[in-house]
Amino acid sequence: MKDARPSDGLPFIKMHGAGNDFVIIDSRGRGAVATPALAAALGDRHRGVGFDQLAEIRDVAGADYALDFWNSDGSRAGACGNASRCVADLVMTGTGGGAVRFVTERGTLGAVRRADGLISVNMGDPILDWRGVPLARDVDLLHLPIAGDPAAVGMGNPHCVFFVADAGVVDLPREGSAMEHHPLFPKATNVEFASVTGPDRLRMRVWERGAGITLACGSGACATAVAAHLRGLTGRHVTLDLDGGVLEIDWRVDGVWMTGPTARIFDGWLTSEFIAAHP
């Protein structure tokens, strides 16, 4: 069969980490191409490709690459842990290396491939200051003045974490969407619901800001593990069972490390007509 890829299109890669799915565009050597319109069009699961987040790889001085993240509604995401792991896997596979350093809105982060093949990413220190999360005013981050007694943690994006008896029965479409734009979160928030299921083990479900329900959220898993430890529910090394798989969180001195699986699903090619229609 003849290769039908147009010479003037744009290649992309579809990957997922624990069911959290991404479109990855490598813009190194060509300049950034993602825009709010293009991200929203690509994120449409009927008329585009579909994803939870878009990750664009860019050239940068002083690190292996830079990463920009976009939600499926076309808004920017300040952090995306599972996409960071997927891109790190992609780059390390291409170079044959076992570690990378990359720049995001949070600063310079690092990722490694473990001996068991899983990818670990250092998501940096949690943000535990109300201005940094950010919140609208100074309140107790571990006990927000919101029904349900949630906690707030910043991981480069804001998170509102509820600890409940059974995360599996939470009405996520209703509860998550209602909390995303709560007035206490001026830039909106990701919303996590978690329950303790064993020693240092949590069941977590998530509603992501700008994306809705996703099968996993890396920064959300980090925020939940941090909040659980600060609440005295777990230690600093926590396993989380999400709808899409299992993530391991280890809050170390140098930052919050997240480890989990990655998968390359397929490679595709965006036509120049599609790109031109969504400047």
| Structure tokens, 153 | 């943690």
CA 250 to CA 89: how far, in whole Å? 19
Contact between 139 and 145 under an 8 Å Cβ cutoff? The reply is yes
* Active-site choice (86, 160, 217, 222): 217
Q: Is 217 assigned a catalytic role?
A: yes
Contact between 205 and 193 under an 8 Å Cβ cutoff? The reply is yes
* Active-site choice (80, 86, 160, 222): 80
The alpha-helical segments, DSSP class H, found in 107-182 are 172-180
CA 84 to CA 53: how far, in whole Å? 11
| Structure tokens, 12 | 């992309």
Q: Is 86 assigned a catalytic role?
A: no
| Structure tokens, 254 | 């140098």
**Contacts of 171 by beta carbon, 8 Å cutoff, 6+ apart:** none
CA 68 to CA 156: how far, in whole Å? 12
Contact between 88 and 98 under an 8 Å Cβ cutoff? The reply is no
**Listed residue (81, 85, 95) closest to 226, CA to CA:** 81
Rounded to the nearest 10 degrees, the angle between the axes of helix 81-95 and helix 218-230 is 120
Instruction: Output b/e per residue, 29-55; b: 16+ Cβ within 10 A.
Output: eeeeebeeebbbbbbeeeebbebbbbb
Cis ω on the peptide bond leading into residue 186 (within 30° of 0)?
no
CA 82 to CA 34: how far, in whole Å? 19
Which residues are known catalytic residues? Answer: 80, 217
